[in-house]
Amino acid sequence: MFGAITGVGIWTTAALISPQAILALIRAYVWGWAMEWVFFIVEIAAALVYWYGWERLDERTHRTVGWIYFVAAYVSLVIINGIVTFMLTPGGWLENKEFWTGFFNPTYWPSLALRSAAAAAQAGLFVLVTAAFLKRGDARAEQARAWATRRGAAWAAAGVAAFAAALFWYRGALSGAIPDWADLAAGAIPVLPRVVTLMWAGAAATFLLALWPLAAPRRWHPAGAVLLAAAALVLFFGGEWVREAARKPFTIHGYLYTTGLRVDQEPEVAAAGVTAFTRWRDPAAATPAERGRDLYRAWCLPCHTRDGYNAMRPFLAHRTEAEIVDFLPRLQHMRARMPAWHGDAAETADLAAFLAADADRGAAVFPADRDAAARLAWDAHCGTCHTLDAYRPLRPSLAGNTREDLEAMLDMLPDLAAQMPAYGGDPVERGHLLDFLTGAAGAVPDRSAE
């Protein structure tokens, strides 16, 4: 029932946030959605009969209704899996636009194995949590509780083990379907390596905690149930987060950006400018910042809020308006895989005016600790495109350079690579950044100001 309620909420939210994606999915998979809704209705009807018939139906009929619910729910998973995996790895559908090509896409089968294992594990977790909070009773009740606890633990442990095994299959499929997957895993999407590590930690914790009720079901305790549920959430939410992060900056990989712009529309936007494709504009906007606000809402807000998720204001605190103008045309070269910015010079200036005026200048104050300040200066500039040792590693290029060499490099970044914007940090920020770079290069940072 909880799934039925949240499912409606998910549909409502998705339709409001990304109507172009929902439209594309309906056009491509209208019969898939029709099949899904048939089984969804059967699932909900069976759930209602199962719930309200608990004390009214005989055992055989009640169990049959439960099996009907299971089959309908699993077929629903089979159908939805094809559509969800299509969004990340559409495969040959991008060329032929055929239903079955997109449905049985490169990650369909490994993802089905993952979701089936997750469903089995979650079924066991539900039993374990329920059993842990049951009131203690007589010997017969305790025996029944131990019986349910042991079997729930077996389902949970086996499901998590199968989930972990399927992850290797899934990773191999992703590597084949997404050419730059190695870059993503190395840090092109900054959050991805951390989430993958967190997910594996959740898998290990869930599996180990599930061994407790498996080995000693009569000692199973509510505290263990809470810890197990938390570990499982880390595991399964981590898996979903990896899928969502790997798809950026697309809603449908290679076809539709999160902004609602189709990939095949890019040449048209580049020629006409982004204003012509900005649906909601204030006709009274007169200043560059006011016009830039409308551009921000259309082209930045789908992924970046001002102060919350992927916040823009703290990120821009260390950049001047001129620097923003300089890096906007280079967005596609930054980490986190942003779409290219197709605004002309005037539109770029308008957006930069809004972003610079809206930046949280209070966040521009460097911490007193020199190491922390150096890290912040790196994160605000070089770290937006590079890592030290993984994705686009800079340490090999920095090695052996003196502080004076590195300072000279800062003044000629566009000459070193056309994709790099000019550096415009003030003397304080420049000093902190040079501290970080000299440390990474193996040189001795300048501590004379301390």
Q: Does the residue 421 lie in any domain? A: yes
Q: Does the residue 237 lie in any domain? A: yes
Instruction: Say yes or no: 180 and 75 in one domain.
Output: yes
Q: What is the three-class DSSP state of 262? A: strand
Q: Does the residue 450 lie in any domain? A: no
Q: In the numeric block, which tokens belong to residue 100?
A: 């079955």
Instruction: Say yes or no: 436 and 345 in one domain.
Output: no
Work out the average pLDDT over 172-183.
88
Half-sphere exposure of 155 (CA within 13 A, CB side): 19
Half-sphere exposure of 288 (CA within 13 A, CB side): 16
Q: List C-alpha distances in Å: 302 to 299, 306, 339.
A: 7, 11, 12
Greater confidence (336 vs 320) lies with 320
- Residue reference for tokens 């495109």: 385
Q: List C-alpha distances in Å: 200 to 123, 168, 174.
A: 20, 12, 17
Q: How far apart are CA 359 and CA 306, in angstroms?
A: 9
Percent over 90 (pLDDT), the chain: 67
Which residues form the domain of 436?
Answer: 366-441
Instruction: Say yes or no: 275 and 315 in one domain.
Output: yes
Residue 192 pLDDT class (50, 70, 90 cuts)? confident
Q: How far apart are CA 336 and CA 144, in angstroms?
A: 51
Instruction: Say yes or no: 137 and 192 in one domain.
Output: yes
Half-sphere exposure of 198 (CA within 13 A, CB side): 17
Instruction: Say yes or no: 197 and 294 in one domain.
Output: no
Q: How far apart are CA 340 and CA 331, in angstroms?
A: 6
Instruction: Say yes or no: 349 and 392 in one domain.
Output: no
pTM confidence score: 0.86
Tell me: the pLDDT tens digits for 47-92?
Answer: 999 999 998 999 999 999 999 999 999 999 999 999 999 999 999 9
Residue where one domain finishes, among candidates 363, 391, 425? 363
Q: How far apart are CA 405 and CA 411, in angstroms?
A: 10
**What is the pLDDT of the chain when averaged over all its residues?**
90
- Residue reference for tokens 């018939």: 53
Q: What is the three-class DSSP state of 251? A: strand
Q: How many residues does the chain have?
A: 450
Instruction: Say yes or no: 325 and 306 in one domain.
Output: yes
Q: Does the residue 432 lie in any domain? A: yes
Instruction: Say yes or no: 307 and 174 in one domain.
Output: no
pLDDT at 18 over 90: no
Tell me: the pLDDT tens digits for 347-391?
Answer: 999 999 999 998 876 666 888 999 999 999 999 889 999 999 989
Structural domain total, the chain: 3
Q: How far apart are CA 195 and CA 12, in angstroms?
A: 27
Instruction: Say yes or no: 238 and 181 in one domain.
Output: yes
Compute the CA torsion angle 10, 15, 20, 24 (nearest 10 deg).
60
Largest CA-CA distance found in the chain, in angstroms, rounded? 85
Q: In the numeric block, which tokens belong to residue 270?
A: 């580049």
Q: At 256, phi and psi to the nearest 5?
A: -140, 125
Residue where one domain finishes, among candidates 201, 224, 255? 255
Using an 8 Å Cβ cutoff, are 213 and 134 in contact?
no
Tell me: the pLDDT tens digits for 127-173?
Answer: 999 999 887 777 888 888 899 999 999 999 999 999 999 999 999 99
- Residue reference for tokens 């809020």: 305
Question: Lowest mean pLDDT: which of 10-14, 120-124, 185-189, 409-413?
Answer: 10-14
Residue where one domain finishes, among candidates 316, 331, 363? 363
Q: List C-alpha distances in Å: 309 to 46, 179, 230.
A: 39, 28, 22
pLDDT recorded at residue 450: 45
Q: Does the residue 272 lie in any domain? A: yes
- Residue reference for tokens 């049985």: 104
Instruction: Say yes or no: 226 and 349 in one domain.
Output: no
